[in-house]
Chains A and B, each alone.
Chain A
């Protein structure tokens, strides 16, 4: 069993380019809901400006792991982390000294179901900036447009920015949520099954979007679709019962997985 993370630095051997650095690294990460240990010694390195897919059978802890990266678990009592999540080889995101609010400004999140706020399209995107105290109209306008463009939504909504976010279609709403996450310039964006509530066309547009986003951000995405993982990710991590079973380049995981469980899961024998 591969307990240690396969270091993405190691992957590229001599070519330690900036592009190939680990953006975030978990080390011996344990997580407990009360007494229930859900993550068991997870070691994972997420490469900068790459898409890393997190796959595994239902209930293996993918969402739980994802929500550690922005300290979402802090919102509920009884949750406990052990181990470290190191950002930029410098800060431990799980440290008690780190304010989860600051973590969430640097680590964005897109949820399974599109969840725009009951506000206008504009205000949905501007929200993160506003809560950080940005009031200058010009800056907000600029950021909103930039984020909507980056989320490939600008052309569809530029004439209706004052309409309520819920007036959009499901796929558009999800892109709105991506724009909302992008507005604060996060370095890492977490996607939890971002297309599971969408039709194939909307799914394709979100997938294209992720491919273009990795120019500027690092992406960690949970998905139940093997095809999706294969299409969009550079690295794939396979989780099983709270443990990191296997990690490697997507090509390798899908063509020559080392572990039998990985092979079975990818081959659709369980999950």
Chain B
């Protein structure tokens, strides 16, 4: 059957609509693509700039060496102490942030009255607005002395514990706010089904709301890890800048990020080995973050598909 005139006219309209739609699609694609492109170019820059270092230092030495002293004579290029510092401070931070953040989220989403929530939530968000350098000095001149006075008399002035804890406090709002959003998105019927079988508020929060929000909650943890691994100022100020290979959080140490700021503040000739170490360290940092992200991604995928 031949299309009627009206249908043909409508077809034309649709064609124009299609064009507009195509244009929007392309624009959206470009936007998404540029994000990916920028990420890749940063990675490319890190790789090309650090390649030079691996001409003088073997990759094996870089990855397994236990001493990091590129500015000394003879120079040492083992990245492990820096990775260790990053991982240890992050672990301390997460030990504080994950429980506190999750509990705050559960409280805000399931127990707090709307009034309390209205006050507490912006308060929490204010915490994340404080500049990190302030947190750094808070760790150095308040938390460390307090720890020395009340818990660990032999704690050195610079250590990983105190900046780790303060970093954890800084991350609490991030976890609390992302997790709370995930928990509040859990459908009301799911909660009602739980109450309907005779569950208490606490049982409903822990056994229904929390698992139902698991994928959102775990994304908040992944964000927290990235934040902790990438944090620079707090550890630079309060952890000491001495690369040390140790699993003891009460000792001073340097993190990858702390090393990068420390060295890049000085005057480094372009192309020198020291200059290249910055990029190699940056590459390492990117890899550590990536590893955590991939791990987190698979972990959260296991709990995906919820309500």
List A residues at the B interface (Cβ < 8 Å). Answer: 70, 72, 75, 101-102, 104-105, 108-109, 111, 113, 115, 117-119, 127-128, 130-132, 164, 166, 177, 180-181, 183-184
- Structural contact, B193 and A131, CB atoms closer than 8 A: no
Q: How many residues of B contact A (CB 8 A)?
A: 22
- Structural contact, A166 and B197, CB atoms closer than 8 A: no
Contact among A72, A118, A128, A183 with B192 in the assembled complex (CB-CB below 8 Å): A72
Contacting residues, chain A, for B193 (C-beta < 8 A): 109, 111, 115, 117, 177, 180
Number of A-B contacts (CB under 8 A): 76
Contacting residues, chain A, for B4 (C-beta < 8 A): none
Chain A interface: which of B24-32, B87-95, B136-144, B200-208? B200-208
Contact among B197, B199, B212 with A181 in the assembled complex (CB-CB below 8 Å): B197
- What's the least CB distance linking A26 to chain B, in Å? 19
- Structural contact, B200 and A131, CB atoms closer than 8 A: yes
For A164, the closest partner residue in chain B by CB is B305
Contacting residues, chain A, for B194 (C-beta < 8 A): 117, 127, 131
- Structural contact, B306 and A111, CB atoms closer than 8 A: no
- What's the least CB distance linking A184 to chain B, in Å? 6
- Structural contact, A111 and B197, CB atoms closer than 8 A: no
17 A/B residue pairs, CB under 8 Å, sorted by A: A101-B198, A105-B198, A109-B192, A111-B192, A113-B189, A115-B187, A115-B189, A117-B207, A118-B208, A118-B211, A127-B207, A128-B197, A131-B200, A132-B198, A166-B305, A166-B306, A180-B197
Contacting residues, chain A, for B198 (C-beta < 8 A): 101-102, 104-105, 128, 131-132, 184
Give Cα A102 to B305, complex, Å. 32
- Structural contact, B190 and A117, CB atoms closer than 8 A: yes
Give Cα A180 to B198, complex, Å. 12
Give Cα A168 to B208, complex, Å. 19
For A100, the closest partner residue in chain B by CB is B195
Interface residue? B239 (CB, 8 A): no
Interface residue? B80 (CB, 8 A): no
- Structural contact, A131 and B197, CB atoms closer than 8 A: yes
Interface residue? B196 (CB, 8 A): yes
Contacting residues, chain A, for B207 (C-beta < 8 A): 117, 127, 130-131
Give Cα A164 to B200, complex, Å. 23
CB 8 Å contact bits of B204-220 with A (1 = contact, 0 = none): 00011001101000000
Contacting residues, chain B, for A131 (C-beta < 8 A): 194, 197-200, 203, 207
Contact among B191, B195, B203, B307 with A118 in the assembled complex (CB-CB below 8 Å): B307
Identify 8 new A-B residue pairs, CB closer than 8 A, beyond the known A131-B198, A166-B307. A105-B197, A115-B187, A118-B305, A127-B199, A127-B207, A166-B305, A180-B197, A183-B197
Contact among B191, B196, B214, B307 with A108 in the assembled complex (CB-CB below 8 Å): B196
List B residues at the A interface (Cβ < 8 Å). Answer: 187, 189-200, 203, 207-208, 211-212, 214, 305-307
- Structural contact, A104 and B212, CB atoms closer than 8 A: no
For A130, the closest partner residue in chain B by CB is B207
- What's the least CB distance linking B114 to chain A, in Å? 9
Give Cα A101 to B204, complex, Å. 12
- Structural contact, A72 and B197, CB atoms closer than 8 A: no
Given contacts A117-B208, A118-B212, A164-B305, contact A104 B192 (CB under 8 A): no
- Structural contact, A72 and B203, CB atoms closer than 8 A: no
Contacting residues, chain B, for A70 (C-beta < 8 A): 196
- Structural contact, B211 and A104, CB atoms closer than 8 A: no
Given contacts A118-B212, A164-B305, contact A184 B190 (CB under 8 A): no
Given contacts A111-B189, A131-B207, contact A117 B212 (CB under 8 A): yes
Give Cα A131 to B195, complex, Å. 10
Contact among A102, A104, A180, A181 with B195 in the assembled complex (CB-CB below 8 Å): A104
- Structural contact, A118 and B214, CB atoms closer than 8 A: yes
- What's the least CB distance linking A83 to chain B, in Å? 22
Contacting residues, chain B, for A75 (C-beta < 8 A): 191-192, 195
Give Cα A81 to B110, complex, Å. 24
Give Cα A69 to B147, complex, Å. 55
Give Cα A104 to B192, complex, Å. 11
For A111, the closest partner residue in chain B by CB is B189
Give Cα A30 to B154, complex, Å. 69
- What's the least CB distance linking B110 to chain A, in Å? 11
Contacting residues, chain B, for A113 (C-beta < 8 A): 189
- Structural contact, A115 and B195, CB atoms closer than 8 A: no
- What's the least CB distance linking A70 to chain B, in Å? 6
Give Cα A181 to B190, complex, Å. 13
For A119, the closest partner residue in chain B by CB is B211
- What's the least CB distance linking A114 to chain B, in Å? 9
- Structural contact, B196 and A101, CB atoms closer than 8 A: no
For A107, the closest partner residue in chain B by CB is B196
Pairs A-B, 4 closest by C-beta atoms: A128-B197, A105-B198, A109-B196, A131-B199
